[in-house]
Chains A and B, each alone.
Chain A
């Protein structure tokens, strides 16, 4: 392991690797990535691979438009097929409030060039014949949203970054961040220390723990989110379907499995990563309501991962007041994976002083103290 680096990235998930990948492609590879487990250990290896542009804020919509463009060519850039299938995202609203949200968001998305359409439940059934639309008021559908296979994204970015000179260390835990005054001096791991003055905290649910090592308090809270996968069957479902009444989402993978989860308002913040009967049961009920034939489909496996949540649903990006060179790239909730290529590019440009995108000022840690919280309302799972 290197004993010094210009930049150390804590967290070898898709966010940290996307940054390393984009930095390396810009010619900057004096970077060490530290991952506590195997690649795909954290949320990056546990998510359903959804990629959507249907958001409620301008900045997220534009970010995701960019991310979609980048995902379309990532397989060719990295040499691993990520199977990005743009089969669409179909949202279902059952009450006045969510119907109004869909209407409002759709108008905003259209204004920004995302071709989402409000459609009737009957039209939704034309897109997904197996769908039960009883009780659904209105739907929103964007055919350029889609799903991908997360693992090759992680492996591909890691491979290219590594080929270009970035050092990626798996099974390496950060145990201390040595700060003298306002400057970082080194990062200490269970396999040795790395002298550096710049550390990126891309540790997902572990970000608060990492930040504390540098004496910084983050407001992020981890939440367990559970997910399951069914036996593989022939394609019958093109879009990812989401029921806004309970945050259910599911899609069909390239292998034919139904993969999805739903929200649990009773789930407290924790680092619990086990699987529960409660989830399996609630998800089964929700899926059977939406796809009645699914009752006879078999569950293959359930698992869980963390959403790294912030008080306003927007990530924490950029500088912190108390420590120079300590850069935050965390708090992505349930949508870090889909944003990763765009965030990685922007963060790389920012770090190399090529361009400072406004989000590094508007989504910084200081926004909470300033009373300038963002508000992204359109989360699922």
Chain B
């Protein structure tokens, strides 16, 4: 049976897509809605194993759904290693898996994982005999690598547009949109580059809640923040991820879309490119069916593709608890919510809905062959597991890792903490160690989406001041 099934789209979802389209998966016909993430159409269409991992050929299936891991890669239209979570479904697409022998679904090479239950010391392979090493070399080569060389007509170089600009904002999430709106209010022009098809970032999560005057779900806030009326003079470029930020005076921003590239040299940059959601560490955390909380949110609330089997949520944030309640409202069965939280309205809402809550536990081991079927819990992940939940999906939370790379490459100082990872070091006004670069939101360590919104506005203010001073 499929890992996921489809619901009617949520009435408030910001995601829109087109009519039903047909595509082929390994020669078999499947369907999806034009524009929805291909990965979700595949899950809803019954695909469980998307690929195999590099060394042990462990099965892989979408984990982050936000284009920062490598768990959903497939060959699409003759191109290898395509992130299906970041690929809009379209008519006639040809989709196939790439790894494994004879195939990703059933891979004999998984035996390596069994033969080496603890570790395979790959540096010490075949060192006993030079002849054996040379003999094994072609096989090792064939087993490595993921996709094949691209097929089809060789592509041309993408047209590149070179411009200067006053301000570039990188990322149109809560922080980036707030910054852009502040700039717009001041009559300042700016280019905003956003990797996803829609602006919003964490505001696109159904479980986001912004506690400010009125208070409201992220989706409500998204409508007002993304309203073009508040962004006049701002050039918002979606599906144009910034792929490089080169140091220099002025710095060089390279944004690469599917069909064109922008190379911009701005006077000021506001970095709002967010953070990567991670899984916590526990045995089997890579089993298909284990994903991040935001991945489940995007899939189930955003796009109406929900797990077919009961779900376990693990985490302590308001978002995790809220997600549980929202999923239950949509008719998704929850096998349990595993949390160390003890109180709060979100917890009460779960209890009202009679959703099983497991207190003071965390995931210790996920079990499943090609898909998750049970989760062991323990008081601490290294302790003996003492609870077991049968489930077909586990969404587990871990502090996100700020996307510090662009700022770091441009010369901004970063700060490390075990709890928060590496983040761009920025003061309360978003100033970094570079006087022409500002940082706001999760990339600078914002605690939550509301904080990111406020930080974006502050950083834009500081940026405007800086431009005014420069004359």
Touch test A–B (CB under 8 Å): yes
Interface residues, chain A, CB within 8 Å of chain B? Answer: 72-73, 75-76, 78-81, 83, 85, 130, 152, 155, 231-236, 254-256, 274-277, 280, 284-285, 288, 292-298
Whether B257 sits at the interface, judged by CB under 8 Å, is no
Q: Mark B268-291, 1 if CB is under 8 A from A, else 0.
A: 000000000000000000000000
12 A-B interface contacts by CB (under 8 A):
A83-B133, A152-B123, A233-B81, A233-B145, A233-B148, A235-B145, A256-B144, A277-B244, A293-B150, A294-B149, A296-B78, A297-B150
Residues of chain B in range 128-177 having any CB-CB distance to chain A below 8 Å: 128-130, 133, 137-138, 140-142, 144-152, 154-157
Q: How far is the CA of A274 from the CA of B245 in the complex (A)?
A: 12
Q: How far is the CA of A166 from the CA of B125 in the complex (A)?
A: 26
The smallest C-beta distance from A283 to any residue of chain B, in angstroms, reads 13
Whether B126 sits at the interface, judged by CB under 8 Å, is yes
**Are B144 and A296 interface neighbours, CB within 8 A?**
no
The smallest C-beta distance from B281 to any residue of chain A, in angstroms, reads 24
Residues of chain B in range 285-311 having any CB-CB distance to chain A below 8 Å: none
Count chain A CB atoms within 10 A of each CB in B137, B145, B146, B152 and give the residue with the most.
Answer: B145
Q: Contact check: which of B141, B247, B252 meets A254 at CB < 8 Å?
A: B141
| Contact A232:B125 (CB < 8 A) given known A277-B252, A295-B156 | no
**Are B141 and A295 interface neighbours, CB within 8 A?**
no
**Are B140 and A254 interface neighbours, CB within 8 A?**
yes
Q: How far is the CA of A234 from the CA of B80 in the complex (A)?
A: 10
Given the complex, which residues of B lie within 8 Å of A73, measured CB to CB? 130
**Are B124 and A80 interface neighbours, CB within 8 A?**
yes
- Residue of A with least CB distance to B158: A295
Whether B254 sits at the interface, judged by CB under 8 Å, is yes
Residues of chain B in range 46-60 having any CB-CB distance to chain A below 8 Å: 54
Q: Contact check: which of A235, A254, A275, A288 meets B157 at CB < 8 Å?
A: A288
Q: Which 7 A-B pairs have the closest CB atoms?
A: A256-B145, A292-B154, A296-B150, A295-B155, A234-B145, A232-B145, A235-B141
The smallest C-beta distance from B130 to any residue of chain A, in angstroms, reads 5
Interface of A is mostly: mixed
Q: How far is the CA of A83 from the CA of B152 in the complex (A)?
A: 32
Q: How far is the CA of A102 from the CA of B196 in the complex (A)?
A: 50
Whether B25 sits at the interface, judged by CB under 8 Å, is no
- 9 additional contacts (CB under 8 A) given A76-B130, A256-B145, A288-B157: A72-B130, A73-B130, A75-B133, A81-B124, A231-B147, A234-B148, A274-B247, A284-B157, A298-B81
Given the complex, which residues of A lie within 8 Å of B247, measured CB to CB? 274
| Contact A295:B157 (CB < 8 A) given known A81-B133, A235-B145, A274-B247 | yes
Given the complex, which residues of A lie within 8 Å of B123, measured CB to CB? 80-81, 152, 155
Q: How far is the CA of A375 from the CA of B384 in the complex (A)?
A: 69
| Contact A277:B149 (CB < 8 A) given known A232-B144, A235-B141, A292-B154 | no
Q: Contact check: which of B126, B147, B152 meets A233 at CB < 8 Å?
A: B147
Given the complex, which residues of A lie within 8 Å of B141, measured CB to CB? 85, 235, 254, 256
Given the complex, which residues of B lie within 8 Å of A254, measured CB to CB? 137, 140-141, 144
Q: Contact check: which of A81, A85, A285, A296 meets B126 at CB < 8 Å?
A: A81
Whether B418 sits at the interface, judged by CB under 8 Å, is no
| Contact A277:B144 (CB < 8 A) given known A285-B157, A295-B156 | no
Count chain A CB atoms within 10 A of each CB in B152, B155, B263 and give the residue with the most.
Answer: B155
Given the complex, which residues of A lie within 8 Å of B244, measured CB to CB? 277, 280
The smallest C-beta distance from B158 to any residue of chain A, in angstroms, reads 9
- Residue of A with least CB distance to B125: A81
Q: Contact check: which of B81, B142, B254 meets A277 at CB < 8 Å?
A: B254
Given the complex, which residues of A lie within 8 Å of B133, measured CB to CB? 75, 81, 83
Q: Contact check: which of B80, B129, B144 meets A76 at CB < 8 Å?
A: B129
Residues of chain B in range 92-141 having any CB-CB distance to chain A below 8 Å: 122-130, 133, 137-138, 140-141
The smallest C-beta distance from B339 to any residue of chain A, in angstroms, reads 38
The smallest C-beta distance from A240 to any residue of chain B, in angstroms, reads 14
Q: How far is the CA of A252 from the CA of B146 in the complex (A)?
A: 13
The smallest C-beta distance from B122 to any residue of chain A, in angstroms, reads 8
The smallest C-beta distance from B72 to any residue of chain A, in angstroms, reads 15
Number of B residues with CB within 8 Å of any CB on chain A:
39
- Residue of B with least CB distance to A132: B154
**Are B150 and A79 interface neighbours, CB within 8 A?**
no
Q: How far is the CA of A232 from the CA of B254 in the complex (A)?
A: 23
Count chain B CB atoms within 10 A of each CB in A72, A152, A284, A297 and give the residue with the most.
Answer: A297
The smallest C-beta distance from A153 to any residue of chain B, in angstroms, reads 11
**Are A296 and B79 interface neighbours, CB within 8 A?**
yes
Given the complex, which residues of B lie within 8 Å of A298, measured CB to CB? 81
Q: Contact check: which of A236, A284, A285 meets B149 at CB < 8 Å?
A: A236
- Residue of B with least CB distance to A232: B145
Q: How far is the CA of A254 from the CA of B122 in the complex (A)?
A: 12
**Are B246 and A277 interface neighbours, CB within 8 A?**
yes
Q: How far is the CA of A73 from the CA of B78 in the complex (A)?
A: 40
Given the complex, which residues of B lie within 8 Å of A72, measured CB to CB? 130
Given the complex, which residues of A lie within 8 Å of B254, measured CB to CB? 277
Q: Mark B26-39, 1 if CB is under 8 A from A, else 0.
A: 00000000000000
| Contact A255:B124 (CB < 8 A) given known A73-B130, A130-B149, A293-B150 | no
Given the complex, which residues of A lie within 8 Å of B127, measured CB to CB? 75-76, 78-81
Q: How far is the CA of A298 from the CA of B146 in the complex (A)?
A: 12
**Are A231 and B130 interface neighbours, CB within 8 A?**
no
Q: How far is the CA of A81 from the CA of B121 in the complex (A)?
A: 10
**Are A277 and B145 interface neighbours, CB within 8 A?**
no
The smallest C-beta distance from B83 to any residue of chain A, in angstroms, reads 10
Q: How far is the CA of A72 from the CA of B131 in the complex (A)?
A: 9
Given the complex, which residues of A lie within 8 Å of B54, measured CB to CB? 232, 255
The smallest C-beta distance from B32 to any residue of chain A, in angstroms, reads 23
**Are A234 and B142 interface neighbours, CB within 8 A?**
yes
Q: How far is the CA of A152 from the CA of B80 in the complex (A)?
A: 29
Given the complex, which residues of B lie within 8 Å of A293, measured CB to CB? 149-151, 154
Given the complex, which residues of B lie within 8 Å of A256, measured CB to CB? 141, 144-146
**Are B157 and A231 interface neighbours, CB within 8 A?**
no
Given the complex, which residues of B lie within 8 Å of A280, measured CB to CB? 244
The smallest C-beta distance from A39 to any residue of chain B, in angstroms, reads 13
**Are A277 and B150 interface neighbours, CB within 8 A?**
no
| Contact A232:B146 (CB < 8 A) given known A75-B133, A79-B124 | yes
Q: How far is the CA of A155 from the CA of B148 in the complex (A)?
A: 32
**Are B128 and A233 interface neighbours, CB within 8 A?**
no
The smallest C-beta distance from A222 to any residue of chain B, in angstroms, reads 20
Q: How far is the CA of A152 from the CA of B141 in the complex (A)?
A: 17
Q: Contact check: which of A75, A255, A296 meets B145 at CB < 8 Å?
A: A255
Q: How far is the CA of A85 from the CA of B137 in the complex (A)?
A: 8
The smallest C-beta distance from B103 to any residue of chain A, in angstroms, reads 14
Q: How far is the CA of A52 from the CA of B155 in the complex (A)?
A: 32
- Residue of A with least CB distance to B148: A234
Given the complex, which residues of B lie within 8 Å of A233, measured CB to CB? 80-81, 145-149
- Residue of B with least CB distance to A86: B134
- Residue of A with least CB distance to B73: A231
Given the complex, which residues of B lie within 8 Å of A292, measured CB to CB? 154
The smallest C-beta distance from B125 to any residue of chain A, in angstroms, reads 5
Q: How far is the CA of A73 from the CA of B123 in the complex (A)?
A: 15
**Are A296 and B148 interface neighbours, CB within 8 A?**
no
- Residue of B with least CB distance to A129: B149
- Residue of B with least CB distance to A276: B246
Q: How far is the CA of A284 from the CA of B160 in the complex (A)?
A: 14
Given the complex, which residues of B lie within 8 Å of A234, measured CB to CB? 142, 145-149
**Are B125 and A236 interface neighbours, CB within 8 A?**
no
Count chain B CB atoms within 10 A of each CB in A83, A275, A292 and give the residue with the most.
Answer: A83
Given the complex, which residues of B lie within 8 Å of A255, measured CB to CB? 54, 144-145
